[in-house]
């Protein structure tokens, strides 16, 4: 894997919005990028042998362009897979700033989401690959297990990367909230049970604080146990 340590001499200066903050996940080829936004959210970059996987692309084209600049500074490799963990939502409207939309229409870049339809009225680059059941795919040279869920008109896609023991949770708030005192099974609960089947060392999401080590299973089990006691779900922390 090649990382650019500095911007090439012939690169044009960046005059867009403030650059996203970056956190590498241990020594893995995985980074959490957090664009400056009114409602903060996380993007996740995974460097595969055949290209880059980017989860979330920003709220608009300008945000997507800022992400693309930061991605270029991190890894000298093209984005060949884009994942929408919740579709359609505003966190997936920056794709046209990250890739050429024609490359998605031609299938040269995979734009992956859960569901059976691309989402009518979606203001952005529509998915060209939809999954509606649990499956295993290899994209950009990265093997991923996929578990789709749905609620309130939003399709969520949970992703497990077995090589890195990393889980990407569809954590849109509507997917884990449930009325206090009920035992209604939420999409979040189904995803928590699904992830507990695997050895997960890192848990990431679009809104939640990244978790690592024993706290991963503690948080997932705490959510499920609270549901059994009927006390409602915990609120997952966000970075300040």
* CATH code (residue 163): 3.60.15.10
Place of tokens 């690592």: 212
Length of the chain: 240
The residue with greater pLDDT, 64 or 184, is: 64
How does pLDDT run across 154-165, given as a tens digit for each residue? 789 999 999 999
* 115-141 mean pLDDT: 84
Task: Give the residue numbers spanning the domain of 120.
Answer: 21-229
Find residue 156's DSSP bridge partners. Answer: 86, 149
Find residue 169's DSSP bridge partners. Answer: 205
- Average pLDDT of the residues of the chain: 82
Residue 13 lies inside a defined structural domain of this protein: no
Residue 1 lies inside a defined structural domain of this protein: no
**Number of structural domains the chain divides into:** 1
Residue 176 lies inside a defined structural domain of this protein: yes
pLDDT at site 131:
94
**Percent over 90 (pLDDT), the chain:** 53
Backbone angles phi, psi at 24, to 5 degrees: -80, 145
How does pLDDT run across 20-55, given as a tens digit for each residue? 899 999 999 999 999 876 667 899 999 999 999 999
pLDDT at site 2:
45
pTM of the model: 0.84
Residue 174 lies inside a defined structural domain of this protein: yes
Taking alpha carbons only, the member of 128, 83, 120 closest to residue 103 is 128
């Amino acid at each position: 894997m090649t990382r650019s340590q500095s911007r090439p001499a012939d690169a044009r200066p960046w005059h867009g919005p403030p650059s996203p903050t970056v956190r590498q996940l241990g020594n893995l080829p995985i980074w959490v990028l957090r664009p400056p936004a009114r409602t903060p959210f996380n993007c996740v970059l995974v460097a595969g042998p055949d290209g880059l996987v980017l989860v979330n692309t920003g709220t608009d084209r300008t945000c997507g362009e800022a992400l693309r600049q930061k991605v270029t500074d991190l890894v000298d490799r093209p984005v060949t897979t884009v994942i929408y963990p919740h579709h359609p939502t505003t966190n997936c409207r920056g794709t046209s700033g990250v890739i050429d939309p024609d490359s998605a229409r031609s299938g040269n870049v995979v734009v992956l989401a859960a569901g059976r339809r691309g989402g009518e009225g979606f203001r952005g680059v529509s998915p060209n690959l939809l999954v509606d059941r649990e499956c295993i795919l290899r994209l950009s040279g990265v093997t991923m297990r996929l578990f789709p869920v749905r609620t309130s008109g939003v399709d969520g896609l949970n992703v497990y990367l077995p090589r890195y023991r990393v889980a990407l949770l569809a954590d849109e708030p509507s997917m884990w909230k449930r009325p206090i005192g009920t035992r209604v099974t939420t999409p979040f609960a189904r995803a928590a049970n699904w992830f507990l089947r695997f050895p997960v060392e890192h848990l990431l999401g679009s809104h939640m604080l990244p978790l690592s080590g024993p706290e991963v299973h503690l948080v997932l089990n705490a959510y499920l146990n609270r549901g059994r006691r009927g006390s409602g779900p915990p609120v997952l922390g966000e970075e300040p």
